[in-house]
Structure 1
Amino acid sequence: MEINGLPLHPLAVHAAVVLAPLVALLALASLVPSWRDRLRWPLVVGAVVAIGAVALAFVSGNSFRNANEFFSTPPSEITRRIDHHHALALKLLWTSIGFSAVALVSGLLHPEEGPLRWLLGLLLAGGAVAVIVLVVLTGDAGATAVWGGFNG
């Protein structure tokens, strides 16, 4: 996957790295009762856009790796780093899907109080923290695979 000869993955990653944590922070802010109504629709739209960015980054990463034999063979320190990055990216993808689903349900049902509100709030907070942590870990693993540890 390319745009004007440039691999799509390095471009798509920037959208995922910005949007996923931003929506996670938006979700955490929406847990403040006085902000919940105002942040409802930005959270719903943001969740959809962020999951699209994460999915595009994941799919384009697979395409980028498959298009370049250098990243697959022979097994080396670089390919092990890329495998680690891929494993974290897969966790991030599934965590983002779950988080976005909870954000959508929370925004669309919009319960004012009661046990459902508490359950959705707890799931939203946990998912938001998990997304932020996984974005940082996945990004660091990708940067280390590409830029770190080269000894000439």
Structure 2
Amino acid sequence: MDSFNGLPLHPLVVHFVVVLIPLSALFAVLGVVWPAARRKLGIITPIVAAVALAFTPIATSAGESLEKKTPPSAVLDRHTELGDQMIYWAAPLFVFAFLWWAFTSEWFRESAWFNDRVPALTHGRAQVAIASTLGVVLVIVAVGAAIWVYRIGDAGARSVWSG
């Protein structure tokens, strides 16, 4: 399926990615640097990142379908190349958002399942070290994902408006 109601599917679906990747990146950074935001956002951040991840291959596939119907250009090739790489940012964004949530949530610290299996990871220095490392990596991935969405969108807009 490459169209919806006669319109190309790519420009319709890509807006989910364009909104949800930066939104999940913003939520992730806020959760890492602001404890009150972390408590309020909770599981919402990894859920938003998961939805963004789910829409990424759909947008890419729809874009490849649209590309076949569009005159070739160097700018379009650049947009396609960057778009194909978005999954390499969306997947880690989800994974690290989920791991960050798990290691910093009350649910994790109080979970009998985790405490019985890996008690050294759920308390003390190990938990702080893991959460800190995950937080740093999550911020890096979140910023990178947001920048990547911008780069893809810029190349896409140039391919449409520059011809």
If the length of structure 2 is used for normalisation, what is the TM-score?
0.79
Highest Rg: 1 or 2? 2
Match of 2:114 in 1: none
Residue-by-residue CA offset, 1:54-79 (whole Å, 9 max, x unaligned): 2221111012223x1x434xxxxxx2
Match of 1:71 in 2: 71
Structure 2 residue 90 is matched with structure 1 residue 96: yes
Gaps of 5+ in 1: 73-78
> Counterpart amino acid of 1:103?
A
> Counterpart amino acid of 1:124?
L
Task: State the number of aligned residues.
Answer: 141
**Cα distance in structure 2, aligned partners of 1:118 and 1:14:** 32
Gaps of 5+ in 2: 110-126
Matches within 5 A, 1:16-35: 16-31=17-32, 32-35=34-37
**Cα distance in structure 1, aligned partners of 2:88 and 2:71:** 24
Match of 2:78 in 1: 84
**Cα distance in structure 2, aligned partners of 1:9 and 1:71:** 16
Runs ≥4 residues deviating over 4 A: none
Assess if the C-alpha contact under 8 Å between 1:12 and 1:53 holds in 2: yes
Choose from 41, 44, 47 the match for 2:43.
Answer: 41
> Counterpart amino acid of 1:84?
R
Identity percentage over the alignment?
Answer: 31
**Cα distance in structure 1, aligned partners of 2:19 and 2:92:** 18
Match of 1:2 in 2: 3
If the length of structure 1 is used for normalisation, what is the TM-score?
0.85
DSSP-derived class of the 2:44 partner? helix
Choose from 132, 135, 145 the match for 2:159.
Answer: 145
Match of 1:76 in 2: none
